[in-house]
């Protein structure tokens, strides 16, 4: 599969009869037919899979060598009409009076190349050096084999760049991976993005776990996809048992593996993201820095083509919530780690500034709650009284009774110095000084109560007044900054979208939430409620988690309806965080981000049109609001996403979004009325 930079690879473990090349060929053909049915572009079989790995001294028999070569010839003929992808199979091959343990790579009737095994284990139960010569001994670089001129050696790479840019395949064999300097490391530095390993690794206690670590680790070090397949149970003979362990990993993550000891033909297929691998290599400068160390090595690239199959469902799990681990225990560990990281960062800053007062604005919402919890635990760590922190709640024209009561309760339960400042009159005075008429209402002579009644009568669709909103947001920050050292609250999702007021909730002296996405903020507060607090404090925290997200800058209507549900204006945070992750972490183009979103559980909750609309809006907002991110306060990086101008993200404030929005012009998206906070 090659749509949006994905390629489908397959690890095959067919049934096997040791020494019976015809039977082994038949099972290989059956598995290749299934690989074709699954639209795989690359298939790899176990080491010496045409003969069996455990043939012993039979490898020196001409009949067995000839039988294996005849099986390759048959596979070449079949590949013209059955499986048309790249296939790697194992066989013993006699070259220049030396026998080599080889991987033959073929496609569509063409023998693309033959790679000999570089390192031969000859310890414990392994006797490879008794039968085979190491790959570095080979003298000829080309063979006349089955009527074709075939490249031969350990310097071969298979390049599909003409039909799929970025797809370059390297091949190594079993023990090669176990060495200090695996051939795949050099192949990756030479450009290979997919690494194949034909193996015959027997089973002993603990070996499967170590094998898994090797594959995952090598895929991470090489920033590559790694497809590993080992001999199956039918290889077992004499003193050895094999399990047919197949694994597919991508850049340090295990995507799929087979259960061991299956007695039937097995095919493990998975989609590798080549574009993502290339993007990570571009970003990781140290990957390129190693290349001069291997510059003396030369490589031969053999071209092959990847056919574009009919559209098929993505054979890959796409997590709708990439910032939030799925497992309960993993989520608990992640939240605990992030929380302690926040505390450690804030503790260092508080130690550095000395014994001065601290302040934090508490709204009764998620972000300020998390920042308040972190601040309290930080003061506990530093053995400083929580009363050192003056938590101030500042109700304005849109503050609801629910959030105000939760803010008051939280400050009380946590034992901080709590204070309430009603900012409405101060804001009214400022708007009068500016000559501003909020929503067209003349403020002269109006009391707060009269202004509130007038605002409540406004129809919801007309409730947009940036000056009215920004005066409140900036007034709160002004009060906090004039009081003491300000601990900030804004999260990375708000900063990505510009859903914050410049020099308002956007600014502080240190912000422990600055790299945490909104979806994770909610889980962190819930985790804190369930693990760090109990009683009334826990009940308050859980109610905050259940409260609708809103900036609460506009007053509720007469019937109590909130006019500013954030997710109703900018889209669901779970979707926006998904966009942010793939756009920022992997540099995925918009059409791929949308494609991935449509392959998650979102397809049960949102229509394709809604996802498309929110993605276009996300991009417009992201590009329009870089100026806010160019002057962010300090704060700890806790995950792979950060928008700090000193860390992960450096972007011109006036960059145009046109290139990223061109995909939407094919089907123009109707712009909706929405509040844009400045």
SS3 499: coil
* CA-based nearest residue to 223, from 300, 296, 292, 275: 275
The full 3-state SS of 409-420, as one line of letters, equals: HHHHHHCCEEEE
Catalytic residue among 21, 34, 47, 138: 47
Under a CB-based contact definition with an 8 Å cutoff, are residues 337 and 461 in contact? no
* CA-based nearest residue to 563, from 663, 456, 473: 456
Q: Which two tokens stand for residue 188?
A: 């990756």
Active site residue 47: yes
Distances (CA, A) of 313 to 7, 8, 169, 420: 12, 11, 24, 55
Largest CA distance in the chain: 107
Starting from the edge strand earliest in sequence, which strands make up the sheet with 358-361, in order?
A: 417-420, 389-393, 358-361, 485-486
Catalytic residue among 34, 55, 102, 117: 117
Tokens 């290749």 found at: 32
| DSSP at 53 | T
Under a CB-based contact definition with an 8 Å cutoff, are residues 455 and 397 in contact? yes
Active site residue 678: no
Query: CA 438 to CA 456: how far, in whole Å?
Result: 12
* CA-based nearest residue to 398, from 564, 565, 566, 552: 552
Q: Backbone phi, then psi, for 435, in 5-degree steps? A: 75, 25
Q: Which two tokens stand for residue 512?
A: 């422990």
Catalytic residue among 174, 335, 376, 427: 174
Q: Backbone phi, then psi, for 188, in 5-degree steps? A: -65, -45
Q: Backbone phi, then psi, for 218, in 5-degree steps? A: -65, -35
Query: CA 7 to CA 589: how far, in whole Å?
Result: 17
**Positions marked catalytic:** 47, 117, 174
């Amino acid at each position: 599969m090659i749509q949006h930079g994905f390629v489908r690879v397959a690890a095959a473990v067919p049934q096997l009869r040791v020494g019976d090349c015809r039977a082994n060929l038949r099972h290989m053909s059956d598995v290749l037919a299934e690989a074709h049915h699954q639209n795989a572009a690359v298939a790899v079989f176990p080491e010496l899979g045409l003969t069996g790995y455990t043939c012993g001294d039979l490898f020196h028999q001409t009949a067995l060598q000839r039988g294996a070569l005849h099986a390759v010839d048959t596979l070449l003929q079949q590949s013209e009409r059955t499986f048309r992808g790249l296939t790697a199979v194992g066989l013993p091959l006699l070259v220049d009076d030396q026998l080599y343990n080889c991987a033959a790579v073929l496609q569509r009737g063409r023998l693309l190349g033959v790679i000999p095994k570089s390192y031969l284990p000859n310890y414990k139960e392994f006797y490879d050096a008794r039968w085979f010569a190491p790959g570095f001994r080979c003298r000829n670089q080309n063979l006349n084999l089955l009527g074709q001129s075939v490249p031969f050696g350990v310097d071969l790479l298979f390049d599909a760049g003409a039909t799929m840019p970025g797809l370059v395949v390297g091949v190594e064999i079993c023990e090669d991976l176990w060495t200090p300097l695996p051939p795949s490391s050099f192949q990756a530095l030479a450009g290979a993005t997919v690494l194949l390993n034909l193996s015959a690794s027997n089973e002993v206690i603990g070996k499967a776990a170590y094998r898994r670590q090797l594959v995952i680790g090598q895929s991470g070090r090489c920033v590559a996809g790694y497809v590993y397949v080992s001999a199956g149970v039918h290889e077992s003979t004499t003193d050895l048992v094999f399990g047919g362990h197949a694994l597919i990993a991508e850049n340090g993550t295990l995507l799929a593996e087979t259960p061991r000891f299956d007695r039937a033909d097995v095919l493990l297929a998975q989609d590798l993201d080549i574009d993502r691998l290339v993007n990570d290599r571009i970003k990781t400068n140290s990957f390129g820095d190693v290349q001069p160390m291997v510059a003396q090595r030369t490589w031969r690239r053999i071209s092959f083509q990847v056919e574009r199959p009919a559209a098929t469902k993505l054979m890959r799990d796409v997590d709708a919530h990439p910032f939030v681990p799925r497992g309960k225990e993993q989520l608990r560990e992640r939240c605990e780690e992030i929380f302690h990281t926040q505390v450690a960062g804030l503790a260092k800053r508080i130690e550095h500034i000395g014994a001065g007062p601290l302040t934090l604005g508490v709204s009764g919402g998620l972000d300020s709650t998390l920042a308040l919890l972190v601040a309290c635990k930080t003061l506990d760590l530093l053995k400083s009284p929580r009363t050192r922190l003056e938590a101030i709640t500042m109700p304005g024209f849109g503050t609801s009774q629910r959030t105000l009561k939760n803010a008051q309760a939280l400050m009380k339960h946590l034992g901080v110095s709590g204070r309430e400042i009603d900012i409405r009159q101060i804001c009214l005075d400022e708007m009068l000084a500016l000559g501003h008429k909020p929503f067209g209402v003349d403020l002269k002579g109006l009391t707060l109560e009269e202004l509130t009644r007038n605002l409540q009568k406004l129809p919801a669709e007309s409730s947009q007044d940036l000056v009215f909103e920004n005066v409140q947001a900036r007034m709160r920050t002004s009060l906090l900054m004039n009081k003491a050292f300000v601990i900030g609250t804004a999260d990375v999702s708000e900063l990505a979208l510009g859903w914050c007021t410049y020099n308002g909730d956007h600014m502080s002296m240190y912000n422990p939430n600055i790299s945490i996405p909104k979806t994770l903020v909610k889980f962190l507060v819930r985790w804190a409620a369930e693990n760090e607090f109990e009683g009334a404090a826990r009940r308050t925290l859980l109610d905050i988690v259940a409260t609708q997200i809103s900036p609460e800058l506009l007053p509720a209507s007469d019937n109590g309806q909130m006019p500013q549900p954030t997710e109703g204006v900018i889209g669901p945070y779970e979707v926006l965080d998904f966009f942010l992750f793939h756009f920022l972490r992997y540099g995925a183009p918009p059409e791929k981000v949308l494609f991935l979103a449509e392959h998650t559980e979102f397809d049960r909750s949102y229509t394709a049109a809604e996802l498309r609309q929110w993605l276009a809006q996300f991009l417009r907002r992201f590009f329009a609001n870089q100026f806010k991110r160019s002057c962010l306060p300090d704060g700890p990086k806790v995950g792979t996403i950060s928008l700090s101008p000193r860390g992960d993200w450096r972007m011109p404030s006036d960059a145009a979004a046109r290139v990223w929005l061109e995909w939407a012009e094919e089907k123009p998206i109707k712009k909706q009325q929405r509040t844009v906070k400045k």
